[in-house]
């Protein structure tokens, strides 16, 4: 298991993350934000923690970082809640400090191959510029495209049934009828949903499903575009072989490797609609999955209003204080399917 160390940063999270610094922004577009909500009145958050066996009850994608030179003095996130998908202010993610604990993880993109056009677009004067920034901006674009996909009761029921099926398989292997019943309910609601929605309707997700889908779909679309241009084809093929690296949850049935193999062999056309079972896999990602995923790297934890910078440590590293121990406890691997 990966070992970490946490270094305390004394600045207030509202000031620290919104400031402009010569070394560049501390947050990046498409950072994944996890949040623990300790407000006893937030019943929905409490139910998510119970259902997913996790301390985290919410996740979001960083959409826009502070850039005072362009007039952006705030940072915004794209998030999904029970009333729909919308933009949220950074302030609302971290305040009140005594109720919200926030974790920030960043996609690991050392495998990502930029095509020649992406390479030519790098700008050292752009505070957001980093390897794969075109892809990361595409991720946030996919997320924001879902902003009109408001929830209805049918969609919530469908997702609830899918989550129930996943939980049943994880916890109740001795009672397979539970998983089978939950899957049957999910299929019922999906058919019901198909009859009531128009062909123009967009996909709708609980928070972590939106995050997971956005990373997958953005890469899929970029691969489609790259395969159509001879000079970009090498980058597209390489990224296709690494499509599994943007899956931040377990895949017990091997749906993603199978999808990659089918596209590579020509059995499936990547331009066609994504198979339903794979979409279900994406939609039922949980905040606990993002907590566990080695494809997302820890960068910060905000606990009780204090910012802690997270770094990898040697195997024999020991926390230097009880406060650091508490922070590192937030990074522990949660349930495994």
For range 266-282, the mean pLDDT: 95
Of 216 and 1, the one with more pLDDT: 216
SS3 for 138-194 is HHHHHHHHHHHCCCCHHHHHHHHHHHHHHHHHHHCCCCHHHHHHHHHHHHHHHHHHH
3-state secondary structure of 225: helix
Residue 11, pLDDT above cutoff 50: yes
Residues in the chain: 337
Query: Can you give the pLDDT at residue 208?
Result: 84
Written as one string, the DSSP assignment of 41-103 is T-HHHHHHHHHHTSS--EEEEEEE--BGGGTB-S-EEEEEETTEEEEEEHHHHH-STTTEEEE
Taking the whole predicted model, whether its pTM rises above 0.85 is answered as no
Specify the pLDDT at position 157.
62
Token pair for 55:
């301390």
pLDDT attached to residue 337:
45
Contact (Cβ atoms closer than 8 angstroms) between residue 275 and residue 259 = yes
Give tens-digit pLDDT for 210-227: 899 999 999 999 999 999
- Can you give the pLDDT at residue 73? 56
Q: What's the pLDDT score for residue 81?
A: 54
331: left (phi over 0), alpha (psi -120 to 50) or beta: alpha
Once rounded to an integer, what is the mean pLDDT over residues 180-196? 58
Task: Tell me: pLDDT of 159 over 70.
Answer: no
What angle, 0 to 180 degrees and rounded to 10, lies between the N-to-C axes of helices 207-227 and 133-145?
120
6 pLDDT tier (thresholds 50, 70, 90): very high
pLDDT in tens, 279-309: 989 988 888 899 999 999 999 999 988 999 9
Q: Give the DSSP letter string of 279-301.
A: HHHHHT--HHHHHH-TTEEEEEE
Tell me, what's the pLDDT at 266?
Answer: 96
Question: What was the pLDDT predicted at 300?
Answer: 94
- pLDDT digit string, tens, across residues 319-334: 999 999 999 998 988 7
Q: What is the rounded average pLDDT for all residues in the chain? A: 79
Q: For the segment 98-117, what is each residue's pLDDT rounded down to a tens digit?
A: 778 899 999 999 999 999 99
Mean pLDDT of all residues in 242-250: 97
∠ CA 89-94-95, rounded to 5°: 95
Closest CA to 63 of 82, 89, 83: 89
pLDDT class for 248, splitting at 50, 70, 90? very high
Nearest to 45 by CA among 79, 75, 12, 78: 79
Q: What is the pLDDT of residue 48?
A: 56
CA distance 12 to 242: 38
> For the ranges 18-27, 154-163, 168-177, 328-337, which has the lowest average pLDDT?
168-177
Please spell the DSSP secondary structure of 92-103, one letter per residue.
HHH-STTTEEEE
Does residue 156 contact residue 192 with C-beta atoms inside 8 Å? Answer: no
Sort strands 306-312 and 76-81 into parallel, antiparallel or unpaired.
unpaired
Q: What is the mean pLDDT of residues 185-208?
A: 55
* Choice among 19-28, 169-178, 269-278 with the minimum mean pLDDT: 169-178
- Kindly indicate the confidence band of residue 202, based on its pLDDT and cuts at 50, 70 and 90: very low
d(CA 126, CA 123): 5
Q: pLDDT, tens digit, for every residue of 46-105?
A: 555 555 567 787 888 887 765 555 555 556 656 555 555 556 766 677 777 777 889 999
Residue 132 predicted with pLDDT over 80: yes
Q: Please report which confidence band the pLDDT of residue 184 belongs to, taking 50, 70 and 90 as the band edges.
A: low
As a whole number of angstroms, the distance between CA 117 and CA 100 comes to 41
- Provide the pLDDT for residue 192: 54
User: pLDDT band at 200, cuts 50/70/90?
Assistant: very low
């Amino acid at each position: 298991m990966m070992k970490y160390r946490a270094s305390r940063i004394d600045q207030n999270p509202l000031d620290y993350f919104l400031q402009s610094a010569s070394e560049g922004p501390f947050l990046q577009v498409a950072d994944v934000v996890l949040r623990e909500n300790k407000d006893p009145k937030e019943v929905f958050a409490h139910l998510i923690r119970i259902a997913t066996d996790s301390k985290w009850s919410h996740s979001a994608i960083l959409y826009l970082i502070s850039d005072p030179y362009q007039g952006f003095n705030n940072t915004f996130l794209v998030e999904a809640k029970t009333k729909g998908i919308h933009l949220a202010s950074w302030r609302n993610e971290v305040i009140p400090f005594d109720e919200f604990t926030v974790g920030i993880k960043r996609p690991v993109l050392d495998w990502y191959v930029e095509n020649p056009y992406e390479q030519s677009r790098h700008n050292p004067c752009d505070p957001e510029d980093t390897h794969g920034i075109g892809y990361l901006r595409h991720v946030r674009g996919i997320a924001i495209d879902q902003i009109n996909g408001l929830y209805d009761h049918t969609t919530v029921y469908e997702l609830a049934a899918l989550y129930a099926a996943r939980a049943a398989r994880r916890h109740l292997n001795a009672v397979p009828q539970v998983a089978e019943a939950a899957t049957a309910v999910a299929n019922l609601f999906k058919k019901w949903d198909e009859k009531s929605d128009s062909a123009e309707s967009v996909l709708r997700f609980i928070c972590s499903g939106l995050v997971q889908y956005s990373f997958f779909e953005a890469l899929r679309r970029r691969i489609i575009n790259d395969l159509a241009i001879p000079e970009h084809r090498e980058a597209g093929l390489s990224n296709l072989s690494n499509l599994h690296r943007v899956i931040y949850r377990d895949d017990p049935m091997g749906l993603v490797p199978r999808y990659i193999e089918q596209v590579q062999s020509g059995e499936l056309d990547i331009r066609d609609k994504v198979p339903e079972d794979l979409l279900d896999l994406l939609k039922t990602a949980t905040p606990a999955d993002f907590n566990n995923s080695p494809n997302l790297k820890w960068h910060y934890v905000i606990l009780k209003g204090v910012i802690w910078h997270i770094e990898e440590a040697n195997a024999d590293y020991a926390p230097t204080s009880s406060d650091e121990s508490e922070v590192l406890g937030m990074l522990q691997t949660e349930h495994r399917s």
